[in-house]
Amino acid sequence: MCGNGSWACILVAALAGWSGCGSNYRCTGSAILCESFTPAYCENVSGCVAGDVCGLYSSDGPAQACAAKAVAATCLAPRCSWSGSACLDICGTVNDMQTCYSIHSTEKTNPPVNYVWECLWVHCHGTPAKTVCSDYSNDSCPRELGCSVEKVNAF
């Protein structure tokens, strides 16, 4: 296609190098959680609601979430409680901060730093419309949510 170093081939190669051929940019960062925002900023994040609540936080994954339990036999105390036709987490029934912080599992994570699950009092709750930075385009990558545009190698 290119013959003996023609100026067109040299120009194409130079442009490919300048444009970052072999790499691209992506909006990256940690998971976006409503709980990490102040009440004043909370309302700016679609899906988040400002207000004090006691919420369940666990290190053992979404499969253990109370809402994922479809039958009473799998909705186990003390983390969960069966109510009518749904499995609810015990933290959602607590209305005061002191009681909230007193509820947690007896088992700890490995290394034993945190409880496997615990109730935490938060001032912003809900589920953001976009839960990870990569859900955003580079042009709309929100720094205020902890995201940043970074170069990522394609190879």
21 has pLDDT over 90: no
Q: What average pLDDT does the segment 2-25 reach?
A: 47
The whole-chain average pLDDT of the chain stands at 82
Q: Is residue 84 part of a domain?
A: yes
Q: Is residue 120 part of a domain?
A: yes
14 has pLDDT over 60: no
59 has pLDDT over 50: yes
Q: Is residue 3 part of a domain?
A: no
Total domains in the chain come to: 1
Q: Is residue 2 part of a domain?
A: no
| More reliable by pLDDT, 47 or 20 | 47
Report pTM: 0.65
pLDDT of the residue at 99: 96
Nearest to 94 by CA among 76, 121, 132, 69: 121
R_g over Cα of the chain: 24
Q: What are the beta bridge partners of residue 122?
A: 53
Q: Is residue 1 part of a domain?
A: no
pLDDT in tens, 90-149: 998 899 999 999 999 888 887 777 888 899 999 999 889 999 999 999 999 999 888 999
> How many helices (H) does the chain have, and how many strands (E)?
3, 6
Q: Is residue 92 part of a domain?
A: yes
Quick one: which H or E segment has residue 11?
Answer: helix 7-18
Q: What average pLDDT does the segment 46-74 reach?
A: 86
Nearest to 65 by CA among 112, 127, 6: 127
pLDDT of the residue at 30: 87
DSSP 15-33: HHHHTTTTEEEEEE-SPP-
Q: Is residue 88 part of a domain?
A: yes
Sequence-distant contacts of 12-15: CB under 8 A, at least 24 apart:
none
Nearest to 144 by CA among 26, 36, 25: 36
Domain interval for residue 122: 8-153
29 has pLDDT over 70: yes
Please answer whether residues 132 and 28 qualify as being in contact, where contact means their C-beta atoms are separated by less than 8 angstroms.
Answer: no
pLDDT of the residue at 58: 84
Structure tokens at 43: 């309302």
pLDDT of the residue at 61: 66
